[in-house]
């Protein structure tokens, strides 16, 4: 049996607290609810119509100025890094964070209120194993502002951080493993700190209505202003570590590796999260089965054609390799020189048109939608494609694996799928497709 710490966890029961939001200064209450295995962390805006949710993932990162903002469509949640740091470090893999505003309560500017909340709710082990990101080789990101983040292989999650203010004032260093106990004791209570010159213009524009010396330390010149004295002599670097944990929670997996951070900030942290997420999708693509089985939950060409109305030369799926749960599918298409589009695209230099790869994604996603709807009496119409990227040319002789994951479905009329195509273990194209259903 797996040891408990290798299993996913959610909160034992719903628990909440309320306070003031930093940017609007209004009252907000936040509740943590349990969620099933593989659910991940989602924010829920209780104050909006239909109570929309936002998945905690790097693709939903909108801005990183001063704080981390996530969004889907027009819905936003701001300043989420402290609650995410607490959830991640205290071992909560699955939860719904419900709020009646666009921002969590700022509390005392640290993650302590969220740690208290998680302890109040308790933790429950779930059946599924945790998902890890193991650092296999050094990775790094560097920003123009002088932030440097290096990630090295390690059996545990460690952070070694150097923080330095303007003119290297308040240079501090700390290196520590991150476990729930260490986080609670050494990191969680470290408060946000700001430089007076940075916040003064915001105060003048009234953009931080809830900001006060009760929820941030203000550094003015050599002076440190706050309501209560520093909680640690090196409180600043501890808060920087807190923010790194919160921002890396956007990877959606527990990191086994050593983060070495020099003058980190939200932008650089988010960039590292993005690099890790990209590496993770490359690895997932590589674990695609090399043999292409028939049966075993897959669909052969005949079965595919019973569902899809497309025919030669427009059928872009040879076979479905398999479904994973309710919302993932992998299919395969062998690209041969006999494809009609190679004649004109381009004579003497055959390259598969990108739009045909998007068409393949759309067909594979429709197969998934039909499986969900369990009917072929309706047809999915492809409405829009977002974030489409073509990364590598697809050539005759390539075997293209097409992956689609259903990310949203609204009622039985609209659905959204995240798709990517893989050739020789590399992602060649990707995109997010939206569908609507109509009766045939």
Task: Give the binding site for Zn ion (CB under 5 A).
Answer: 192, 243
Q: How far apart are CB 20 and Zn ion at their closest, in Å?
A: 16
Task: Supply 24's token pair.
Answer: 């609007």
Q: Smaller CB distance to Zn ion: residue 77 or 369? A: 77
Q: How far apart are CB 256 and Zn ion at their closest, in Å?
A: 24
Q: Smaller CB distance to Zn ion: residue 194 or 433? A: 194
Q: How far apart are CB 115 and Zn ion at their closest, in Å?
A: 14
Buried b (16+ CB within 10 A) or exposed e, 312-321: eeebbbbbbb
Find out whether 429 and 360 touch, Cβ atoms under 8 Å. no
Catalytic residue chosen out of the listed positions 345, 349, 403, 420: 345
- Residues in the chain, total: 440
Q: Smaller CB distance to Zn ion: residue 99 or 216? A: 216
Give residue number: closest CB to Zn ion: 243
Q: Smaller CB distance to Zn ion: residue 91 or 246? A: 246
Q: Smaller CB distance to Zn ion: residue 192 or 363? A: 192
Find out whether 283 and 131 touch, Cβ atoms under 8 Å. no
Find out whether 403 and 419 touch, Cβ atoms under 8 Å. yes
266 is catalytic: yes
Cβ neighbours of residue 98 under 8 Å, at least 6 residues apart? 16, 30, 31, 32, 33, 43, 44, 46
- Angle, CA 145 vertex, CA 139 and CA 147 arms, to 5°: 35
Could you give the residue ranges of the DSSP H alpha helices within 174-265? 180-182, 196-204, 235-248
Give the H/E segment covering residue 367. helix 354-373
Beta-carbon neighbour count of residue 58 at 10 Å?
A: 22
Task: Supply 302's token pair.
Answer: 């005949």
Nearest to 415 by CA among 433, 431, 429, 402: 433
Buried b (16+ CB within 10 A) or exposed e, 164-175: beeeeebebebe
Q: How far apart are CB 191 and Zn ion at their closest, in Å?
A: 8
Beta-carbon neighbour count of residue 356 at 10 Å?
A: 20
Q: How far apart are CB 239 and Zn ion at their closest, in Å?
A: 6
Catalytic residue chosen out of the listed positions 33, 78, 266, 403: 266
Find out whether 379 and 370 touch, Cβ atoms under 8 Å. no
Q: Smaller CB distance to Zn ion: residue 40 or 246? A: 246
Q: How far apart are CB 262 and Zn ion at their closest, in Å?
A: 17
Catalytic residue list? 266, 345
């Amino acid at each position: 049996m797996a040891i408990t710490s290798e299993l996913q966890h959610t909160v034992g029961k719903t628990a909440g607290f309320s306070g003031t939001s930093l940017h609007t200064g209004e009252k907000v209450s936040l509740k943590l609810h349990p969620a099933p295995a593989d659910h991940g962390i989602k924010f829920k805006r209780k104050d909006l119509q239909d109570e929309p949710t936002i998945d905690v993932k790097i693709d939903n990162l909108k801005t990183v100025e001063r704080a981390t903002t996530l969004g889907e469509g027009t819905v936003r949640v701001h300043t989420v890094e402290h609650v995410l740091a607490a959830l991640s470090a205290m071992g909560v893999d699955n939860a719904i964070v419900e709020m009646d505003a666009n921002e969590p309560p700022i509390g005392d500017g640290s993650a302590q209120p969220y740690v208290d909340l998680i302890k109040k709710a308790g933790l429950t082990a779930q059946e599924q194993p945790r998902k890890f990101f193991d650092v296999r080789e050094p990775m790094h990101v560097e920003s123009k502002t002088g932030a440097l983040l290096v990630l090295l292989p390690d059996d545990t999650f460690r952070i070694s951080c150097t923080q330095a203010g303007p003119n290297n004032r308040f240079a501090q260093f700390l290196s520590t493993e991150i476990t729930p106990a260490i986080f609670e004791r050494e990191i969680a209570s470290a408060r946000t700190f700001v430089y007076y010159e940075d916040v003064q213009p915001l105060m003048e524009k009234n953009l931080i209505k809830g900001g006060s010396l009760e929820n941030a330390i203000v550094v003015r010149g050599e002076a440190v202003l706050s309501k209560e004295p520093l909680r640690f002599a090196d409180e600043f670097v501890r808060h920087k570590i807190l923010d790194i944990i919160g921002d890396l929670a956007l990877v959606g997996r527990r990191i086994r590796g050593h983060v070495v951070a020099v003058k980190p900030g939200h932008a650089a942290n988010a960039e590292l999260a993005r690099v890790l997420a990209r590496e993770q999708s490359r690895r997932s693509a590589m674990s695609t089965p090399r043999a292409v089985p028939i049966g075993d939950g897959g669909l052969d060409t005949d079965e595919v054609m019973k569902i899809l109305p497309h025919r030669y030369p427009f059928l872009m799926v040879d076979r479905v390799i398999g479904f994973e749960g309710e919302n993932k599918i992998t299919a395969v298409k062998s690209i041969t020189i006999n494809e009609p589009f190679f004649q004109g695209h381009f004579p003497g230099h055959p390259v598969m048109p990108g739009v045909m790869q998007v068409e393949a994604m759309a067909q594979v996603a429709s197969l998934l939608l039909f499986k969900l709807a369990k009917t072929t009496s309706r047809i999915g119409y492809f409405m829009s494609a977002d974030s489409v990227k073509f990364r590598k040319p697809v050539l005759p002789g390539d075997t293209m694996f097409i992956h689609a994951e259903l990310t949203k479905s609204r009622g039985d009329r609209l659905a959204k799928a995240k798709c990517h195509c893989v050739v020789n273990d590399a992602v060649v194209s990707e995109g997010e497709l939206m569908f609507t259903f109509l009766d045939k």
